[in-house]
């Protein structure tokens, strides 16, 4: 079913300004708004990076539901699209927003989160999640596994699987000179991304005599401590590049070799897709929907969260690999993303989901 009608969609996400927020959700929504032919009205819901959980934040959250109701009354959308992650604050916030959206065709888009897979919630959070997903006309998830896990809150007929996607044309093939390898991390600098595991893995590799550079991009609550520890271990082989986007991000990934993301919780990292499109070989956690992208030993490597021995083993293998092996991994990584995770296909599928949601309400 391909919908030709132009719809008005009220869509929520954190700030779309990458200087305020490093968020995979925001990046996806920016891409959809830029490429879609529907009329999108953006409603900002979510913290800025570095925003304190103080009185000001509490007041802003208390005002959010009424502001959302006002946005609905002003926009009078055909469809409302709430982007969420199954994390404590997001669940409660978006359940409150869903209260005002229930008279409209409502899409709830779950981008992973701590409680997306096999995690028991406190009773009050369970109640909020049940209300949020119960209010949805349709629920978008990143993988079949997510749909199965969340079926405890909603019937199977409500789910649509739509993996994240990127503009693959923004990442042309880049020739890398053969030599010293560079490991890159791009993302939010907070501990659930596996920051301590990164530090310890680098320490062990350096102790064993491996030579490599480590480049880091991002901001977050644990930035200063992470940078201090990495500089202590890596010295001038460590570089912090702040927030990176657009052409600068393409350049950063096109000059790196290994993308490292040992997250404890993850949905489907856009940075992973971008890194693979640029020819980086990923070493990432077997969490969320990342195993849907990374085939262990073919286009990258999967590790169990918290398993430093496994992380070090995969990195040692890649740092010791020959040029022929590297070329094969790079080629497979690029091909996977270009054929399966391109934004043009994503936008068309999302429009179809909107149409089905509208017709079923």
pLDDT tens for each residue of 136-162: 999 999 988 889 888 888 898 999 999
pLDDT tens for each residue of 271-300: 999 999 999 999 999 988 899 999 999 999
Q: Which of 8, 157, 192, 197 is nearest to 85 (CA)?
A: 192
Tell which CATH classification among 3.40.1260.10, 3.40.50.300, 1.10.10.10, 3.40.50.2000 matches the domain 8-165+342-360: 3.40.50.2000
pTM for this predicted structure: 0.86
For the domain 168-340, what is the CATH code? 3.40.50.2000
pLDDT of residue 19: 62
d(C-alpha 208, C-alpha 215), whole Å:
20
Does residue 109 carry a pLDDT above 70?
Answer: yes
Q: Identify the sign of the CA torsion 108, 113, 118, 121.
A: negative
What residues does CATH 3.40.50.2000 cover in the chain? 8-165+342-360, 168-340
pLDDT tens for each residue of 4-21: 678 999 999 998 876 666
Q: Which of 99, 89, 81, 80 is nearest to 46 (CA)?
A: 89
**Residues in contact with 215: Cβ distance below 8 Å, sequence separation at least 6, in sequence order:** 182, 183, 184, 185, 238, 239, 240, 241, 252, 256
Structure tokens at 321: 């690999």
């Amino acid at each position: 079913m391909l919908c030709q009608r132009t719809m008005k969609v009220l869509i929520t996400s954190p700030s779309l300004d990458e200087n305020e927020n490093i968020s995979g959700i925001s990046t996806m929504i920016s891409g959809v708004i830029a490429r879609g032919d529907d009329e999108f009205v953006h409603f900002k819901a979510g913290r800025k990076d570095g925003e304190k959980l103080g009185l000001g934040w509490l007041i802003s959250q208390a005002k959010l539901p009424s502001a959302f109701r006002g946005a609905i009354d002003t926009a009078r959308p055909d469809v409302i699209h709430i982007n969420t992650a199954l994390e404590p604050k997001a669940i409660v916030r978006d359940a409150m927003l869903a209260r005002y959206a229930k008279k409209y065709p409502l899409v709830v888009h779950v981008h992973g989160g701590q409680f997306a897979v096999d995690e028991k919630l406190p009773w009050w959070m369970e109640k909020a999640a049940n209300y949020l997903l119960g209010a949805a006309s349709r629920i978008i998830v990143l993988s079949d596994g997510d749909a199965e896990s969340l079926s405890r809150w909603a019937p199977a007929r409500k789910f649509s699987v739509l993996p994240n996607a990127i503009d693959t044309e923004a990442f042309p093939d880049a020739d890398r000179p053969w030599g010293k390898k560079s490991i890159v991390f791009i993302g939010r600098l907070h501990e659930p991304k596996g920051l301590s595991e990164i530090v310890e893995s680098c320490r062990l590799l350096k102790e064993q005599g491996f030579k490599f550079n480590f480049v880091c991009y991002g901001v977050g609550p644990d930035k200063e401590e992470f940078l201090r520890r990495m500089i202590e271990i890596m010295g001038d082989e460590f570089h912090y590049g702040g927030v990176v986007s657009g052409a600068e991000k393409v350049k950063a990934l096109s000059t790196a070799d290994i993308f490292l993301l040992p997250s404890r919780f993850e949905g489907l990292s856009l940075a992973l897709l971008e890194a693979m499109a640029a020819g980086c070989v990923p070493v990432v956690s077997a969490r969320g929907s990342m195993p849907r992208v990374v085939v262990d030993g073919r286009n990258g490597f999967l590790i169990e969260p918290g398993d430093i021995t496994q992380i070090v083993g995969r990195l040692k293998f890649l740092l010791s690999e020959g040029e022929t092996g590297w070329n094969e991994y790079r080629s497979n990584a690029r091909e996977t993303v270009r054929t399966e995770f391109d934004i043009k296909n994503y936008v068309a599928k999302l429009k179809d989901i909107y149409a089905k949601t509208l017709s079923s309400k």
